[in-house]
Amino acid sequence: MASSRKPRSADVPAAVARAAPELAGKRILVGLSGGVDSVVLLHALSRALPGVRAAHINHGLSPNAGRWAAFCRRLCKRLGVPLTVRRVRIARSGEGVEAAARAARYAAFAGLSFDVLALAHQLDDQAETVLMNLLRGAGPRGASGMPARASFRGRVLIRPLLELPREAIVVYAREQHLPWIEDESNLSDAYTRNFLRLRIAPLLAQRYPRWREALARAAGHFARADASAALALREFLAAHGLRAPSAAKLVEMLRQLTAAAPGTRIAHDGAELRVYRGEVRVAPLRKHGAFQPIAWHGERKLTLPALGGELRFRRARGEGIDARWVQQGAMQVKLRSGGERLQPDARRPRRTLKNLFQEAGVPAWQRERLPLLYRGDELVWAPGLGVDARYRAGRKSAGWVPEWRLTC
């Protein structure tokens, strides 16, 4: 909604009318806190559609909580709307009282009978949510704010007033002579949302009068980007032969992949997803067994079940490991122990295996389970890096070319 005109009371029924077509014939439950937003939403919806019910969740956090429940009962009696009141206990957690109260509230709603849950979040709430999440370093999902329509425990959640500023809602409430209650905690800037509303929002409004609309627009852009990311992840999984996850798991997978914290591992459908240098890698999910060194005497293939693959060797001339070294024996397949050096290019100095793997883009979690060929304590060959210059076959000499293949 543009801020160039004065908010009107007609904005509220217009917003409800836009949501009404998908609500006809559905069991609608309105979350009623007693504040002006939820009072207006309940009034407008109950006028537009028959059979609307309300639910008030008593968190017990305020000494006035009992008075708020009583107010909601009187209001619903006046409007002829059935009301359910639920008392919940707040489990204090590291995320704070606000988050704990929100979790308890949604859990209480989930236990009620309805097809559509209508909540009274409006434009100011959306702008504050986006700003708060951005300040916390949120990714596209957090920056997309609250959706106007979403799934909720197999049912539907809607926010019909999400595009309306608080001013339009207050105008409607006054013209309809609707009472409401004010939560005294809203006056305390100890909570993050209240701090933004009381301290930051007025400053933003002085310099950027349409800051709320701008943040709501940005939320829409982020939501579309998030939807594209979800589609891209589904297609990525399908391309690797993996089944699509549930909607909830897809959201969690995107969150973890976007955060890409060191050591992040996501198990899905017998595989494992990791992020390396901004790229998602897929590997079989397998239990690593202990690996003991294995001698190589010139066999064409060595099966290494503990590493999930096999080493194959082909004969060639002028490339690979010089055959004379193989004939002398003492070749072994081992795992890296640290500090190894290799010289794949005779024109460049010998370098650490760690640096060579980094340069080749081999993720750290793969390096520890790659089979390496040694002669005694000297590294001869490493997968993806090649043969050490001291052991490479001459231009006319017979050689063995190793190849590492994953089989599971």
pLDDT one digit per residue (tens) for the chain, 408 residues = 444 567 787 899 999 999 888 888 899 999 999 999 999 999 999 999 989 999 999 988 888 889 999 999 999 999 999 999 999 888 766 667 778 888 889 999 999 999 999 999 999 999 999 998 888 887 777 788 898 888 888 899 999 999 999 999 999 999 999 999 988 877 778 778 889 988 999 999 999 999 999 999 988 888 887 778 888 888 888 888 888 888 778 877 887 777 666 667 788 888 888 877 777 888 776 666 688 899 999 999 999 988 888 999 999 999 999 999 988 877 999 998 888 999 998 888 999 999 998 888 888 777 888 999 999 889 999 998 999 999 999 988 999 999 998 876
Q: Do residues 280 and 362 both lie within one domain?
A: no
Is residue 28 one of the residues assigned to a domain?
yes
Q: Do residues 115 and 75 both lie within one domain?
A: yes
Is residue 181 one of the residues assigned to a domain?
yes
Q: Do residues 246 and 110 both lie within one domain?
A: no
Q: Do residues 248 and 309 both lie within one domain?
A: no
Q: Do residues 268 and 299 both lie within one domain?
A: no
Q: Do residues 280 and 298 both lie within one domain?
A: no
Q: Do residues 43 and 68 both lie within one domain?
A: yes
Query: What integer pLDDT is reported at residue 2 of this predicted model?
Result: 40
Query: What integer pLDDT is reported at residue 38 of this predicted model?
Result: 96
Query: What integer pLDDT is reported at residue 322 of this predicted model?
Result: 92
The residue from 220, 255, 274 where one domain ends is 220
How many structural domains comprise the chain?
3
Per the CB < 8 A criterion, the answer to whether 323 and 397 are in contact is: yes
The CATH number of residue 63's host domain is 3.40.50.620
Q: Do residues 275 and 392 both lie within one domain?
A: no
The residue from 284, 318, 336 where one domain ends is 284
Is residue 235 one of the residues assigned to a domain?
no
Q: Do residues 279 and 303 both lie within one domain?
A: no
Expressed as residue numbers, the domain containing 19 is: 11-220
Q: Do residues 51 and 163 both lie within one domain?
A: yes
Is residue 231 one of the residues assigned to a domain?
no
Is residue 25 one of the residues assigned to a domain?
yes
The residue from 192, 220, 248 where one domain ends is 220
Is residue 272 one of the residues assigned to a domain?
yes
Is residue 226 one of the residues assigned to a domain?
no
Is residue 225 one of the residues assigned to a domain?
no
Q: Do residues 105 and 157 both lie within one domain?
A: yes
Q: Do residues 53 and 157 both lie within one domain?
A: yes
